[in-house]
Amino acid sequence: MAVAFLFCIFLGRFLYIQLIWEDELHYLAIDQWTREIPVNAGRGLILDRNGELLAGNRAKYAVYARANAVDDPSGSAALLSEALNAPYETLYEKLTDRSKSEILLARRTEKSVVEQIAVNELKGIYYARNDERVYPYGSAASQLIGFTAYDNSGTTGVESYYDAYLKGKNGEILFETDLVGVDLKGAAAAYLPATDGLNVRLSLDVRIQSAAEEVMSRVLAETSAKAARAVVIDPNDFSVLAMVNLPSYDLNEIPRDDLSELNALSRNNLVSDVYEPGSTFKIVTAAADIEEFLKGNRRALDPGRYVFPSSRTRVVDGTTIRCWSDHKNGKHANQTLAEALNNSCNPCFVDLALTLGKETFYDYLAAFRFGRTTGIDFSGEAIGMLLPESALRDCDFARVGFGQSIAVTPLQLACAAASAVNGGYYYTPRIALEISSADGSVRQTLSPTLVGRTVSEQASAILSEMLEGVVRDGSGKKAYIEGYRVAGKTGTAQKYENGVIAQGKYVSSFVGYFPADAPRYLALVIVDEPQGSYYGSTVAAPCARDIFRGIIDIMGLQPEEN
């Protein structure tokens, strides 16, 4: 029995080595008798929706040495020092360091330099293509596109999120050597080709991106603001057409020596940061009330007939909430929901929230995906800040109705607004449209994904008509464009620092879209801490107008006759 048992153990070990461990042992054997020079894969391109190049490659070459194969370290170091413009002593030290297999002498150098070295036929010196990433549009959409590390792997933005597609697979050149790494005479090199990365085509339209950046650069300079941001999406499928984060930086001149500055400038605040949206959030509150009224909810207020009381204050849990101003001949007027939107009257939206109640209102917040990520194809998305329904005091809940006591990402708000006015359809926002190979064949199509419904088409149409009135007759007049049906909502929010209101610090915003009856373009504009005038109606609304004008010119959109 003991002999049979030992025989079974040896047989099992033999089968394990032959069948399971075979590939690993084979690799170790090859590795012992060969030395490898990497063949770097070409990184895939990043293109805008029209095929315009956003991230490409410039041919550069790496220079390697295998010290065991170098027969004249001194002479080779002298020639390399002159060609690479590198210290002789450093190169000589590398060429005589036989403790390492392959040594990198130059990470990226020009082809002409490699040709200059190659004519000398230096033994032990090898070359491999190692492209340099280039960005034709410099700082345009820099936080969205992102950049690569020194080894060409994606570090931030699209470069990072889609790195698995873009990076490709490196190859190798294998040289047969003896045990100490010296080339065997007469041995042939084996070439394992690299597989280049795939191209990623984005939903971004670089023409719209450039137009939006020009507008936001101007307002940043004119208002001496801390930051200026804008996101433009297609309300019909939530594809991102532009993302502007200013201040910005040139992707071709990345400040790698200052990590603090780099982290700040490369952060996509539209996706990763949160803020109190203020009055732009009233779009959501109004949508919820209109939908509930259409459903027959007796608690909902009639959006067409109900007249809000003229008092400019509401008292909730002993907390007084005021309207930002008197808006009719020095006296706060009775008003309908449409007029409350025009005047951006906070007390009216307190009434709407409290009348609907926490449970119903929180159902709509969930439908509009507040308190969770939108699911955009971008790393580092924030979920926002939404207090649990059970922990929310009535005075805080009242403020949520007009965009306080809640924090959202700009992208969340843009998507919620788009869903409220596009017929009630909420999609997963997307940055990429398709993955393709260099020959143009499409490997993967990233189609729009419908997440769910927020409101009915009827409620959406009623709301959109009211928001068109905001631009035509109300606080959004500076977004008006003659001949085009622009709709939207202004917002002016105070900022908080350490839990208290920061005096004199505001966030000015406007979310708008056009055409009002069939939205094709929606823009959210945010100006952080503008100096001087700080109202969304005077600072942000004109920016949206100018962005829309740029889109009209780019797309050749004709005005409506009526």
Give the whole-angstrom CA distance, residue 214 versus residue 539. Answer: 15
Q: What is the mean pLDDT of residues 459-485?
A: 97
Please tell me whether residues 539 and 404 are part of one structural domain: yes
Each residue of 406-430: b (16+ CB within 10 Å) or e?
A: bbbbbbbbbbbbbbbbbbbbbbbbb
| Helix 282-295 vs helix 410-421: crossing angle, to nearest 10 | 30
39 in a structural domain: yes
Note if 279 is an active site residue: yes
DSSP string, 374-442: ---SSTT----B---GGG--HHHHHHHTTT-S-BB-HHHHHHHHHHHHTTSEEE--BSEEEEE-TTS-E
Residue 112 half-sphere exposure toward CB, CA atoms < 13 A: 0
Please tell me whether residues 76 and 99 are part of one structural domain: yes
The pair phi, psi for residue 432, each rounded to 5°, is -100, 145
Residue that terminates a domain, selected from 104, 130, 156: 130
Looking at residue 26, what is its pLDDT? 46
Contact 445, 239 (CB under 8 A): no
9 in a structural domain: no
Looking at residue 5, what is its pLDDT? 56
Q: What is the mean pLDDT of residues 459-487?
A: 97
Give the residue among 190, 186, 195 at the shortest CA–CA distance from 34: 190
Query: Which SS3 state, helix, strand or coil, does residue 270 take?
Result: helix
Please tell me whether residues 82 and 215 are part of one structural domain: no
Query: Which SS3 state, helix, strand or coil, does residue 238 take?
Result: coil
Give the whole-angstrom CA distance, residue 291 versus residue 459. Answer: 5
- pLDDT tens column, 490-529: 999 888 777 777 888 999 999 999 999 999 999 999 999 9
43 in a structural domain: yes
Give the whole-angstrom CA distance, residue 269 versus residue 266. Answer: 9
Looking at residue 28, what is its pLDDT? 42
- pLDDT tens column, 527-542: 999 999 999 999 999 9
Please tell me whether residues 139 and 282 are part of one structural domain: no
Residue that terminates a domain, selected from 81, 113, 130: 130
Looking at residue 184, what is its pLDDT? 47
Q: Based on C-alpha coordinates, what's the Rg of the chain?
A: 31
Looking at residue 181, what is its pLDDT? 47
Contact 488, 470 (CB under 8 A): yes
What letter represents residue 374's amino acid? Answer: T
Please tell me whether residues 426 and 518 are part of one structural domain: yes
Residue that terminates a domain, selected from 147, 171, 195: 171
Looking at residue 25, what is its pLDDT? 43
Neighbours of 503 (CB within 10 A): 8
Contacts of 346 (CB under 8 A, 6+ apart): 279, 321, 322, 323, 324, 402
257 in a structural domain: no
- pLDDT tens column, 49-93: 999 999 999 999 999 888 888 888 898 889 998 999 999 999 888
Report the predicted TM-score, pTM, of the whole model to 2 decimal places. 0.88
Q: Which region among 137-141, 198-202, 259-263 has the lowest average model confidence (pLDDT)?
A: 259-263
Looking at residue 125, what is its pLDDT? 87
Give the whole-angstrom CA distance, residue 243 versus residue 249. Answer: 14
Give Cα separations from 292 to 46, 297, 355 (angstroms).
Answer: 44, 5, 11
Percent share of the chain, pLDDT over 70 = 89
Is the pLDDT reported for residue 299 higher than 60? yes
Contact 124, 115 (CB under 8 A): no
Report which of residues 111 and 20 the model is more confident about.
Answer: 111
Looking at residue 27, what is its pLDDT? 42
Give the whole-angstrom CA distance, residue 246 versus residue 216. Answer: 8
The dihedral formed by the CA atoms of 516, 517, 522 and 526, expressed in degrees to the nearest 10: 30
Select which of 139, 266, 279, 508 is catalytic: 279
Task: Name the β-bridge partners of 510.
Answer: 490, 525
DSSP string, 97-142: -TTSS-EEEEEEE-HHHHHHHHTT--TTEEEEE-PEEE-TTTTTTH
380 in a structural domain: yes
Please tell me whether residues 354 and 473 are part of one structural domain: yes
Looking at residue 190, what is its pLDDT? 66
Looking at residue 67, what is its pLDDT? 83
Report which of residues 246 and 102 the model is more confident about.
Answer: 246
Please tell me whether residues 270 and 369 are part of one structural domain: yes
Neighbours of 359 (CB within 10 A): 8
17 in a structural domain: no
Is the pLDDT reported for residue 4 higher than 70? no
Give the whole-angstrom CA distance, residue 265 versus residue 51. Answer: 26
Please tell me whether residues 299 and 280 are part of one structural domain: yes
Which CATH number belongs to the domain containing residue 339 in this structure?
3.40.710.10
Looking at residue 36, what is its pLDDT? 62
Please tell me whether residues 354 and 396 are part of one structural domain: yes
Mean pLDDT over all residues of the chain?
89
Give the whole-angstrom CA distance, residue 557 versus residue 521. Answer: 12
Neighbours of 16 (CB within 10 A): 11
| Structure letter (DSSP) for residue 479 | G
Looking at residue 324, what is its pLDDT? 77
Please tell me whether residues 156 and 126 are part of one structural domain: no
* Structural domains counted in the chain: 3
16 pLDDT band, cuts 50/70/90, is: low
The pair phi, psi for residue 55, each rounded to 5°, is -145, 125
- Which helix or strand (DSSP H or E) is residue 444 part of? strand 442-445
Please tell me whether residues 422 and 494 are part of one structural domain: yes
Which CATH number belongs to the domain containing residue 84 in this structure?
3.90.1310.10
2 in a structural domain: no
- pLDDT tens column, 301-345: 999 999 998 888 899 998 899 887 765 555 677 899 999 999 999
Give the whole-angstrom CA distance, residue 501 versus residue 505. Answer: 8
Neighbours of 385 (CB within 10 A): 14
Give the whole-angstrom CA distance, residue 278 versus residue 260. Answer: 30
Contact 168, 160 (CB under 8 A): no
Is the pLDDT reported for residue 348 higher than 70? yes
Please tell me whether residues 140 and 87 are part of one structural domain: no
32 pLDDT band, cuts 50/70/90, is: very low
- Domain housing 70: 60-130
193 in a structural domain: no
- pLDDT tens column, 159-215: 999 999 999 998 876 665 544 444 545 555 566 788 999 999 999 999 999 999 999
| Helix 206-223 vs helix 540-555: crossing angle, to nearest 10 | 150
